[in-house]
Structure 1
């Protein structure tokens, strides 16, 4: 019966992962270059060749003095303009993101002033506007990157599928605690090193190799199901630590996409990583909660017999799809 629970969980989780797209945030950077005058950079992600339908709407009295100029990247469109908000500047004025409420995308907003102060705010669809505050504090930076860390791991299905593979391989108990801890410690190390510029790896190969790590984990789960000796099954925390170093570069790539406030770099890095861990623990708790719920149900015998093989092959198939998809993107 316990084996069949993994089948149901695997079908549910991988069905969502196969259909879902990772939600990349939009990004807005406002730099005050003179009293009341600002350079504005507005970046919106491109999904399936289409730009995210979000438009900027500034408060009354804010004038565009240099018309928007657009440039196109592989995964986003960048728009630059210059605005004038008058002697009082943007303080107390609202910027609206029209259309954000109909999406699942957030907007990370960074505002830099002439006095050197910097504020970072995460705007969500539930409240698709921002009001520029007079005295930004560290709490706004911490809150923004904490939420972004949670949202990144929850939307990063490849990372979650690796964690799910660890659950399939190890089960529960003390060894699972050691394995998850090793994975967490490893990706925290490389996240910090990559973000601080000590180590750099190109993003596309990292993403492809992350998919490959899930595929290799699925192979090891299959070997364990057959009763074959496996280093991964005996020392899962070592494997989790090794692959965790790789996954940390993937997290760093997400931070590189939105940028980090140099003034609050340690705080932003720390809270983003805490958010990732919170999201990871939420996922583990969800899996075990669903497992406990399904244990109360009676499933047919075929599900009991083929649960773990189907789960491992399904995980491997999904990982192989991701791997070849990401390899093919090298030349697209």
Structure 2
């Protein structure tokens, strides 16, 4: 009974966490486009929840005038603000700051498009909420920005991580695991690229619901294997990983669409975002395998843990599935 009580308390804790973290926190987005010499249109997209909008705003040097041109528009997950920015000089060699960013856990993606075709991209964070805009854009800064966005997206994409965790649990043998993770990577890279480039599109809410359903499916497969019944996933995990990976790629693409891609550097931004996703996924796999090894060495009797894991995974995924269907 004591063991059952511990499991019950753990499940209650998990549900408390997922009720808050069911959707990852997405970055704010600041797009600045030069319309005529030293005159810029500014789009400021700020994340919101049901009852709260982040109190953050862009600040430019005093030699620039920022004027609101369109009333704020409230969307499902964001509030859009539209401004005109004007000054006597170029934005180059000036400082951009995001006020109150250090009081949040949110990043800000900044894209600046100039009349001469140059494009600047920066990622501002709570620990570094300002940037000095250089005269010449750096392709390495763009690559760093979208790589970091990719890493952050996968590490805060709890549904994707839970799917990968389920694959780790059901896949036995290093070679089979390597093939499985590679198949998942290849599949979601394909649909991420195709969707981001506009060749294929699926509506976001159904995709998110089916992603949760894919985790429920894997949890059920794990339970069947533990009961001594071989399944398709236990025999060919790479096939299941590839099939569901195609679906997960649309989830990544939806997040990237919310973030935005620089008009003049879409291939580089898309490639480095995908690299960031893979790096984040690799980090998670290494940490998860390390925890598996550690628990094996410090907890001799693990049978009850093995039996509990798929129920926890399935319960969390079922919670997400119901929540996402209700939100249609």
Q: Given the alignment, which residue of 35, 45, 52 partners 1:33?
A: 35
CA distance in 2, matches of 1:281, 1:69: 43
Q: Given the alignment, which residue of 44, 47, 62 partners 1:45?
A: 47
CA distance in 2, matches of 1:62, 1:267: 31
Q: Given the alignment, which residue of 319, 323, 326 partners 2:324?
A: 326
Larger mean CA deviation between 18-27 and 146-155 belongs to: 18-27
Measured on the aligned residues, the alpha-carbon RMSD in Å equals 1.9
Aligned position for 2:4: none
How far is 1:229 from its partner?
2.7
2:15–2:316 Cα contact (<8 Å) kept: no
User: What SS is found at the alignment partner of 1:50?
Assistant: coil
1:146–1:275 Cα contact (<8 Å) kept: yes
How far is 1:66 from its partner?
4.5
CA distance in 1, matches of 2:17, 2:101: 23
1:67–1:81 Cα contact (<8 Å) kept: yes
User: What SS is found at the alignment partner of 2:323?
Assistant: helix
Q: What is the CA deviation profile of residues 217-264 of structure 1, one whole-angstrom value per residue up to 9, with x for unaligned ones? A: 111111101111311111111000000000000010111001111311
Can you give the 5+ residue segments of structure 2 that lack an aligned partner in the other structure? 1-6
Normalising by structure 1, what TM-score?
Answer: 0.91
How far is 1:41 from its partner?
0.6
CA distance in 2, matches of 1:46, 1:184: 31
How far is 1:58 from its partner?
1.7
Q: 1:75-114, aligned counterparts within 5 Å?
A: 75-86=77-88, 88-114=89-115
1:105–1:125 Cα contact (<8 Å) kept: yes
The answer to whether 1:221 aligns with 2:219 is no
Can you give the 5+ residue segments of structure 1 that lack an aligned partner in the other structure? 1-6
How far is 1:312 from its partner?
0.4
Aligned position for 1:24: 26
User: What SS is found at the alignment partner of 1:104?
Assistant: coil
1:17–1:157 Cα contact (<8 Å) kept: no
The answer to whether 1:306 aligns with 2:304 is yes
Normalising by structure 2, what TM-score?
Answer: 0.92
Aligned position for 1:72: 74
Q: What is the CA deviation profile of residues 128-147 of structure 1, one whole-angstrom value per residue up to 9, with x for unaligned ones? A: 11222211021121111000
